[in-house]
Amino acid sequence: MKYTIPGSGTSPASAGEVAVSTSPASAGEVARSAGEGAEIARTVAEVMAQSQAGGVLDELDRDLVGLAPVKARIRDIAALLVIDRLRMNQGLQAQAPSLHMSFTGNPGTGKTTVALRMAQILHRLGYIRKGHLVAVTRDDLVGQYVGHTAPKTREVLKKAMGGVLFIDEAYYLYRPENERDYGQEAIEILLQVMENQRDDLVVILAGYKDRMDTFFKSNPGMSSRIAHHIDFPDYSQGELLEISDRMLAGMNYHFGEGCREAFAEYLVLRLQQPHFANARSVRNALDRMRLRQASRLFADRDRELTETDLTTLTPDDIRASRLFAADAS
């Protein structure tokens, strides 16, 4: 059975969207439509100015700590798309490049954030109509009984058409040990849509590297449709400290005297523990610090609290962590 998702590039685009055809020749039409009303670009600078994709790349560098190899790969992909667009502007017919991707790495390394930026870049360069991202897991795609999976998967694909579908922990779609599992049906639908409607949908599969490698070995059809494999490294201790500074600033908090040093000690201890989730674990630790600060201030009910009191975290707010107690023992 051939699956075609309604709402894809064969239907009229709504206001503000770039129309996409599924024919091979449509790649040039898509790229040119992004710069409608402007002169046809002949240089990289003109394409970047017309599409404003450079702004997204600059935001990626500015807003995300570390991830140098990831940022380099995203720039390489953007460069390919820009050059392809210039080729189309010169009348060099070309089929749209395959843009399905795999993001591998531990939790909290920025995979979803980079996927959002990638959707913006693809949209501004005219390779997808909408530029939105739909993030799902197995539960959103796989049904619990016969005949349930196909409608669920098609509904998700319909929502994602014209944008990017981000499937987190994609390897859970495949459970060969369970003969009654319906994940394989979702995979087969995804494979057909990734091939037949790749001009109107980009799929990003994400998860732990070792499990994704096993998933691709077990599903060679899926592996063959992924053009870009990007590995997200863990953050260093210094990068985690910088991330904590940015997170606190975004919440109108800051480390008080000696607190940043205490938090650096906490990170050393936490990195030695299991289930460390990079930026996610940093955020959780900061939330617990805020909780301790609130309890500390709440205890002194008659004290008039200043802005400094309300925004400053102290060394005691982190040293109360059980990690310090365990280390002392």
Task: Name the percent of the chain in helix, strand, coil, to the closest 5.
Answer: 55, 10, 35
Can you give the pLDDT at residue 88?
87
Rounded distance between C-alpha atoms, residue 170 and residue 168, angstroms: 5
Measured over the CA atoms of residue 55, residue 60, residue 63 and residue 66, the dihedral's sign is negative
Task: Please state the φ and ψ torsions of residue 204, each to the nearest 5 degrees.
Answer: -115, 120
Can you give the pLDDT at residue 6?
54
**pTM > 0.85: yes or no:** no
Determine the number of helices (DSSP H) and then strands (DSSP E) in the chain. 16, 7
Hey, is 291 helix, strand or coil?
helix
Per-residue tens of pLDDT for the chain, all 329 residues: 555 565 554 433 333 333 333 333 344 444 444 445 568 888 999 999 888 898 999 999 999 999 999 999 999 999 999 998 899 888 887 677 889 999 999 999 999 999 999 999 999 998 999 989 999 999 999 988 888 899 999 999 999 999 999 999 999 998 877 777 888 999 999 999 999 998 899 999 999 999 999 999 999 999 999 999 999 999 999 999 999 999 999 999 999 999 999 999 999 999 999 999 999 999 999 999 999 999 999 999 999 999 999 999 999 999 999 998 877 76
Task: Please state the φ and ψ torsions of residue 324, each to the nearest 5 degrees.
Answer: -70, -40
Closest CA to 30 of 69, 107, 84, 98: 84
